[in-house]
């Protein structure tokens, strides 16, 4: 990694030194790190690095998607390692890319095509997320039926489509 003036950046070296010192201190019991949880922070750190790359150069909006996914997954995995509740959290693996699409739309070029996969992933992820709550599994199918009926009524009110038109 090089700075704009052509000189190499010192940041990667400093990061490696910091990680090495923390690992050595942990090995000698000078600090107590729970590595069962600590690895999730590396995923979060990678996500932050992608986001930092975008923040420093706004033309690189392609960094938003992997940054958002890694941050989402890092949070999910951290919560799982701490509390062991993956049976509730797993739908966020579907929602992570949806968050990325929304972020790319909001902070990028406002390409409306990004909203299509975002909405689809949000609906699918939300259904699975809400399915974990016992009463919700009875509600969401009814919501789908109601939405379908409303779409049919709207189509009928608008003239019934092509079949209702006379030539």
Q: What is the DSSP string of 92-160?
A: HHHHHHHHHHHHHHHHTT--GGGHHHHHHHHHHHHHHHHHTSTTHHHHHHHHHHHHHHHHHHHHHHTTS
Please tell me the total number of residues recorded for the chain in this structure: 167
Residue 37 or 8, more confident? 37
Whether the pTM exceeds 0.85: the reply is no
Tokens of 132: 């974990």
Tokens of 134: 């016992």
pLDDT at residue 43 greater than cutoff 90: yes
**pLDDT score, position 73:** 97
Q: What is the pLDDT of residues 116-131, one digit of tens each?
A: 999 999 999 988 888 7
**pLDDT score, position 167:** 44
Closest CA to 100 of 69, 137, 139, 144: 69
pLDDT at residue 80 greater than cutoff 60: yes
Q: End-to-end CA distance of the chain, in Å?
A: 68
Contact 41, 75 (CB under 8 A): no
pLDDT at residue 54 greater than cutoff 90: yes
Residue 23 or 8, more confident? 23
* Residue with token string 């949070």: 75
pLDDT at residue 160 greater than cutoff 70: no
**pLDDT score, position 132:** 72
**pLDDT score, position 159:** 62
Beta bridge partners of 2: 8
Rounded to 5°, the CA angle 154-150-127 comes to 140
Tokens of 63: 């960094």
**pLDDT score, position 17:** 86
The residues, any chain, with a CB within 8 Å of residue 145's CB and separated by 6 or more, are none
Mean pLDDT, residues 68-76: 96
Q: What percent of the chain has pLDDT over 70?
A: 86
């Amino acid at each position: 990694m090089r700075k704009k003036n052509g000189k190499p950046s010192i940041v990667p070296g400093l990061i490696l030194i910091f990680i090495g010192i923390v690992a050595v201190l942990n090995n000698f019991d000078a600090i107590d790190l729970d590595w069962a949880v600590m690895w999730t922070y590396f995923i979060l750190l990678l996500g932050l690095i992608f986001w930092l790359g975008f923040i420093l150069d706004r033309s690189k909006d392609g960094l938003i998607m992997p940054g958002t996914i890694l941050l989402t997954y890092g949070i999910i995995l951290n919560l799982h390692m701490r509390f062991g509740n993956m049976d509730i959290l797993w739908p966020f693996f579907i929602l992570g890319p949806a968050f990325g699409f929304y972020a790319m739309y909001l902070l990028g070029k406002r390409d409306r095509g990004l909203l299509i996969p975002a909405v689809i992933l949000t609906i699918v992820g939300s259904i699975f997320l809400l399915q974990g709550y016992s009463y919700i599994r009875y509600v969401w199918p009814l919501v789908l039926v109601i939405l379908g009926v409303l779409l049919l009524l709207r189509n009928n009110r608008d003239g019934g489509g092509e079949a209702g038109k006379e030539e």
